[in-house]
Amino acid sequence: MIKLHGFALSNYYNKVKFVLLEYGIAFEEVMTKLPLTEAQLAQSPTGKVPFLEAEHGFLCESEVIVEYLAARYPEKRIFSADPWKAAKERELITVIETHLELVVRELYAEAFFGGTVSAEVKASVEKRLNRYIASFKRLAKFAPYVCGEQFGVVDIAAFASLPLVAMATQKIYGRDFLAEAGVDWKSYLKLVGERPAAQRVAAERKAYIEATA
């Protein structure tokens, strides 16, 4: 059986977990803390979670894991069967994760973990986020899901990462950049959160936070 290594506070762990649950792929969770041990670094060379244990070995990087699952279980239709639609899904995931979440991650030390971030970093992040939130808005439909009428893998990525963009900017700048740009992420999150897989992910994340507080 596939084993998912990581912990429920990680948005990328929760993304992969959501995919596994949503598409009915059997898996086992292996709670794994950071920093990884030397033995674990052989399994996840980047030193990050999540990483996946499958019949042929280990994989790290959440989107690589999702791509593997899509190829390993083609009957699950994790990505659209239409090549163009599938490419547009990947385009949106890249914008969400690379140009929004990865950028705002530079603020997390101060926003969530009691550290500090320099004024220069804050100014740089603000400039890049404003640019790429506009890019995201050009691509996203929210009709009612990110790609249109049907729920899909992009919504899983959005569910995992958009709240972090909003919360981090609210904490650092006193403004929710997504809401300010007209992205009603709270209503959208509520919609996606009605799905059983999303409810389990959210409940287990909350339980993890309470247990480690």
Domain ranges of the chain: 2-76, 83-212
Check residue 213 and give its pLDDT: 75
* Residue 58: strand pairing partners: 53
Q: In degrees to the nearest 10, what's the CA dihedral of 137, 142, 146, 148?
A: -120
For residue 92, the model assigns a pLDDT of: 98
| pLDDT (0 to 100) of residue 39 | 95
* Residue-level pLDDT, tens digit, the chain, 213 residues: 999 999 999 999 999 999 999 999 999 999 999 999 999 999 999 999 999 999 999 999 999 999 999 999 999 999 999 999 999 999 999 999 999 999 999 999 999 999 999 999 999 999 999 999 999 999 999 999 999 999 999 999 999 999 999 999 999 999 999 999 999 999 999 999 999 999 999 999 999 999 987
Which tokens is 153 given? 């893998």
End-to-end CA distance of the chain: 31
Three state DSSP letters for 114-178: CCCCCHHHHHHHHHHHHHHHHHHHHHCCCCCECCECCCCHHHHHHHHHHHHHHHHHHHHHCCCHH
- Smallest CA-to-CA distance from 122 within 101, 137, 140, 108 is with 108
Architecture in CATH of 83-212: Up-down Bundle (1.20)
Q: Which CATH number fits domain 2-76: 3.30.70.20, 3.30.70.420, 3.40.30.10, 3.40.718.10?
A: 3.40.30.10
Rounded to an integer, what distance in angstroms lies between the CA atom of residue 117 and that of residue 100? Answer: 18
Does this model's pTM top 0.85? My answer is: yes
**pLDDT value, residue 212:** 87
Q: What's the distance, CA 77 to chain centroid?
A: 19
8 A C-beta contact, residue 80 and residue 152: yes
